[in-house]
A and B are shown apart, each in its own frame.
Chain A
Amino acid sequence: MSLVWKLLRQHISIAQFAGFFFANLFGMFILLLGLQFYNDVKPLFSQEDGFLKPEYLIVSKRISGVSILGSGESYGFSQKDIEDITSQPFCKSVGAFTASQYRVVCSLGVQGVAQMGTDMFFESVPDRFVDTDLSQWTFHPEDGVIPIVLPRSYLAIYNFGFAQSQSLPKISEGIIGMIDMVVVLRGNGQEQRLKGKVIGFSSRLNTILVPESFIRWSNARFAPEADLTPNRVIVEVKNPTDDAIVKYMNEHNLELEDDKLDAGKATYFLRVVTVLVMCIGLLISILSFYILMLSIYLLVQKNTEKLRNLLLIGYSPVRVSLPYQLLTIGMNAVVLVFSFIILFMVRGYYMNTLWVMFPQMQEGSLTAALGLGLCLFAVVSLINIVAVRNRVMNIWNRKE
């Protein structure tokens, strides 16, 4: 083999192969990075909300400029409003948000050290709308522990606004148990200290959610005479994409509180950009593949006489094709390995940045990018093998 290789490596152009190598490396890397980045970032856009099913919509009345000035219009949902929504064909059931009607002061701390305190409020929805383990979602006055679901944006406010400026540790959703929450309830001439326990975050709820049993107990105790007209309702619909919902909302001056649509848009653009980037990568790969094919053709052309003589003294076409086939496969393999290495390096870099921004982020799978790389390698190598073999057979058949 070594003598055949010594013969056939004549006229190999280092410049041409280096050109192919870098072009293909670049193309392959862009292609793989596009796919990997998409897979890594996608979960951020399509995170499932653990506490609210997609078919639950939160509805409030639209606040217009005129009504702020006090036209007497109510923002609350009357019993009649709720019945009207319930009677709509798209609606399965309706639940009211019930707000706390007394004063709540809450202080947050991490591992026993109080960090910040604030006035706040609680709201609840009927328990059947909360998609979590109901054994966690109950309140017993004798335990004194309130399960709480916070809006996910609060975590971001803490991590970026507060923790950053106060040099406090950042908190991820995974270590939420470290947060100590002391809640003081005041009203009706009484005061009580309770412990809050954050059991999760929701991106769809713009409120601090507690169990219905707690709101009922606390309102009865601290604000027995308050008006409980809900400002928001939660609606279970049959199909969240139903046009009738939007139509009804507009007709009745209602508003949907939902970021689903925005996330959908962002995912769409992410997909467009990813596809675009991957197309560019693929284009570069195809062009570099073209360079390789031209180089191989040129090489075979320049060595036609040697190849012919080898065939005439008894070498088989398979045997004389082999060195060039191995050469191309080797080059493709090196390109593949290098693109994986660069991919891992770049990914490590951007994942660190992303983790700082989104500590709860889950890592996307590498399988797709690795699979794509291997597929591309296999396809390109296969085409190379066939092309070299065809060229050699042309020499055999005296077409060259």
Chain B
Amino acid sequence: MDKIALQNTLPCVFEGRDVQSEIWLQDVTFQKGQTYLVEASSGTGKSSLCSYIIGYRKDYLGTILFDGKDIRQHSVSDWTSVRKNSLSLLFQELRLFPELTAMENVQIKNGLTGFKGRKEIEAWFERLGIADKTDAKVGRMSFGQQQRVAMIRALVQPFDFLMVDEPISHLDDVNSAIMCDIMMEEARRQGAGVIVTSIGKHMDMSYDKTFRL
């Protein structure tokens, strides 16, 4: 997948409102290999945008296209394939499994494609400072620690686009920087596009383009 295009897209709930946005009701294209920042205020539909692109919600007007194909036409197996091989999303609400350990949470995703070896995953845990938590239940970890587990989980798959929804809201600057490094290393290795959203604090790196939502 090389392009994600939004044409005249608007969440249904915003219909009839006077919307000032660089994304909603615009023609926007995200290119593979580029880095984007989507800055938003609360209530401007940032999480909705992520939900539309991952195929979780369809309550929008206009069109969203993957390589020119309307994603409303995607079948169940199309979406499964996209989520497994082309598009990785770090959810704002993380969507980890609290009953599983940190490592199991990563492995349950890695098991789909067997994309990363255990060594590589452990190295990421190490760099993010949660190596001692690999066998701890995620439910007992702090939100900041969970964010780091969720980031690792987002990276253990092949992807053309990586979408991260407020990835560092609960991290200090040092850990934010490490997370940013790991993310970009992996994105570059895969030649992927990166879309970062934020409502204030955002990853300190150079973006090819910034949108105000």
Contacts and interface: CB of A to CB of B under 8 A. Distances in A.
Query: Of residues A4, A6, A306, A313, which shows the largest number of chain B Cβ atoms within 10 Å of its Cβ?
Result: A313
A309 B89 CA distance: 12
A4 B110 CA distance: 12
7 contacts: A3-B104, A7-B100, A309-B95, A313-B109, A314-B112, A315-B80, A393-B76
Contact of B83 (A306, A312, A393): A312
B56 A312 contact: yes
Nearest to B112: A314
Contacts, number: 48
B31 interface: no
Contacts of A314: 80, 83-84, 109, 112, 157
Contact of A3 (B56, B89, B96, B100): B100
Contacts of A306: 97
B153 A313 contact: yes
A393 B188 CA distance: 35
Interface string A3-47: 110110010000000000000000000000000000000000000
Nearest to A310: B108
A78 interface: no
Interface string A377-400: 000000000000000010010100
B112 A6 contact: no
Contact of A315 (B95, B96, B112): B112
Contacts of A7: 97, 99-100, 108
Interface of B: 54, 56-57, 76-77, 80, 83-84, 89, 91, 95-97, 99-100, 104, 107-109, 111-112, 153, 157
A141 to B, nearest CB: 91
Contacts of B112: 313-315
Nearest to B93: A309
Contacts of A310: 108
Contact of A316 (B54, B76, B109): B76
Contacts of B153: 313
Nearest to A7: B97
Contacts of A317: 76, 80
Nearest to A313: B109
Contacts of B108: 3-4, 7, 310, 313
Given A3-B100, A316-B76, A398-B56, 9 more contacts: A3-B111, A7-B97, A309-B97, A312-B54, A312-B83, A313-B83, A313-B109, A314-B109, A396-B76
Contacts of A6: 99-100, 104
Interface of A: 3-4, 6-7, 10, 306, 309-310, 312-317, 393, 396, 398
Contacts of A398: 56-57
A321 to B, nearest CB: 12
Contacts of A316: 76-77, 80
Contacts of B100: 3, 6-7
Nearest to A10: B99
Contacts of B96: 309
B165 to A, nearest CB: 12
Nearest to A393: B76
A8 to B, nearest CB: 10
The 7 closest A-B pairs by CB, nearest first: A314-B84, A314-B83, A316-B80, A309-B95, A3-B108, A313-B109, A314-B112
Contacts of A3: 100, 104, 107-108, 111
Contacts of B157: 314
B127 to A, nearest CB: 22
Contacts of A309: 95-97
Nearest to B105: A3
A10 B99 CA distance: 9
A313 B99 contact: no
B157 to A, nearest CB: 7
Nearest to B57: A398
Contacts of B107: 3
A398 B57 CA distance: 8
A313 B111 contact: no
A197 B82 CA distance: 87
A306 B54 CA distance: 17
A3 B108 CA distance: 6
A310 B105 CA distance: 11
A279 B19 CA distance: 66
B54 to A, nearest CB: 7
A81 B172 CA distance: 120
Contacts of B76: 316-317, 393, 396
Contacts of A4: 108
A310 B100 CA distance: 13
Contacts of B109: 313-314
Given A3-B107, A3-B111, A317-B76, A312 B57 contact: no
Contacts of B57: 398
A398 B59 CA distance: 11
B185 to A, nearest CB: 21
A23 B157 CA distance: 45
B3 to A, nearest CB: 21
B208 to A, nearest CB: 27
